[in-house]
Each structure stands twice: as C-alpha cells, then as structure tokens.
C-alpha cells in the first residue's frame, strides 16, 4: 500500500501541485483508506489546493480511495474511488467522479456527477419528473463495472481544459503513472 500512496502523490506533484502528500489509514472494515489528510477520525480527508506556484489555487481536488489487497496479497483492488473537483474558495463541488458498487441502487458503478443548476439540468429533470433544476443527482456512466475513472484521467481533464496550470513534462508524468498503475492495481 505504501507504494500506491507514494505513486499517487508522485503523479500529483509531477503535474498539478506542490508538495502535499497523501496519507492512509484503516477503516473499521479493515480496508485501507487513502486521501489527503485522511485520519481514523476523518476518513474523508480534505481537498488539495491545485497550484504549482505561489498564486492562490482556484480549484481543489478531493481524492479518496478505499482499497483491499487481492487474494495473493500483492496487488491492491480499488473497492471505491472518489475524485471531487471543488471551487477552492468555497469548497463547493463542480464535478464528482465515483467508482464503487452499491447493492442498494441500480446506478452504474463508475459514474460522473455534474454539480450546479443549468438549462440541461432542467430538461433532464423534466424528463424524469423532477423539479430540482440540478444535474448532480444524475449518474453519467464513464465506463463499466471494471473500468473506473483514474486520478490520471481527472488530472488530464483539468490540464487540457485549461482549468489548472501544469508542470513542464506533465504528459510524461501521466504516461509513467498510468504504466505503473497497471502493475500496482487489480481492477
């Protein structure tokens, strides 16, 4: 698990942040919980300010993994992952990528939530008989049960859309990280 935590911190620091590392603790079910400032008393951790310079961050990213060792005890299986892109000043979420099966609902295991009111949200809600005008209750599929959003995908989205500044060489950092993840993780 230490390799996983260090590798996640390495890809963040090689692309869109300065310095913060991730931490891990165990939950009551015996699973490892990995995130920024995760503790036994705060299993949700905190969002990481996304900045590579001295300028204040405009966005933050909350990262949370729940992991289990696979049957041979070497690879880690991601039971749940959650990446929340937030406004850094208000901590209000903009996007939420989630992975994890919930037997109590029929939603896709791997999905995206888009927060906020919009005309599209109004239309979606009208189609299903809701009157909330928000899209965050919709679960937009982003793969299948064995294809979950990766931290690398979220970082690449933020960089390519111009939402955060990236370090020089970020593409190589992401490519190296994706290759290493295949060795460390069992989906």
| Mean pLDDT value across the chain | 86
- Which structural domain range is residue 59 located in? 2-100+148-186
Q: What is the pLDDT of residue 19?
A: 83
Establish if 117 belongs to a structural domain. no
Q: What is the pLDDT of residue 26?
A: 92
Establish if 39 belongs to a structural domain. yes
Q: What is the pLDDT of residue 79?
A: 87
Render pLDDT for 8-44 as a digit per residue (tens, 0 to 9).
Answer: 999 999 999 988 889 999 999 988 999 999 999 999 9
28 CB-contact burial (10 Å; exposed 0-12 / middle 13-18 / buried 19+): exposed
Render pLDDT for 146-166 as a digit per residue (tens, 0 to 9).
Answer: 777 899 999 999 999 999 999
Domain count, the chain: 1
Establish if 49 belongs to a structural domain. yes
Q: What is the pLDDT of residue 149?
A: 85
Contacts 24+ apart (CB under 8 A), 37-42: 38/64
Render pLDDT for 93-130 as a digit per residue (tens, 0 to 9).
Answer: 999 999 986 667 788 888 888 887 777 767 777 777 76
Establish if 110 belongs to a structural domain. no
Q: What is the pLDDT of residue 37?
A: 96
Render pLDDT for 49-68 as a digit per residue (tens, 0 to 9).
Answer: 999 988 899 999 999 999 98
Q: What is the pTM of this model?
A: 0.87
> Which residues does 165 contact at the CB level (< 8 Å), separation at least 6?
16, 51, 52, 53
Establish if 83 belongs to a structural domain. yes
Distance separating alpha carbons of residues 51 and 166, to the nearest angstrom: 8
Cβ atoms of 152 and 48 closer than 8 Å: no
Establish if 152 belongs to a structural domain. yes
Establish if 73 belongs to a structural domain. yes
Establish if 125 belongs to a structural domain. no
């Amino acid at each position: 698990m230490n390799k996983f935590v260090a590798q996640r911190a390495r890809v963040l620091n090689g692309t869109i942040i300065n310095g913060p590392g991730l931490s891990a603790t165990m939950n009551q079910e015996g699973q490892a919980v990995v995130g920024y400032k995760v503790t036994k008393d705060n299993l949700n951790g905190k969002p990481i300010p996304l900045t590579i310079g001295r300028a204040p961050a405009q966005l933050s990213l909350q990262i949370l993994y729940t992991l289990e060792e696979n049957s041979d005890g070497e690879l880690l299986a991601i039971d749940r992952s959650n990446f929340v892109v937030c406004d850094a000043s208000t901590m209000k979420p903009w996007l939420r990528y989630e992975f994890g099966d919930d037997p109590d609902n029929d939603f896709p295991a791997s999905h995206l939530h888009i927060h906020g009111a919009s005309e599209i949200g109004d239309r979606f809600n009208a189609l299903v008989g809701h009157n909330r005008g928000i899209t965050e209750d919709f679960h937009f599929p982003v793969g299948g049960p064995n294809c979950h959003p990766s931290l690398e995908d979220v970082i690449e989205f933020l960089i390519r859309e111009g939402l955060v500044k990236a370090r020089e060489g970020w593409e190589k950092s992401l490519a190296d990280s994706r290759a290493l993840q295949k060795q460390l993780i069992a989906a």
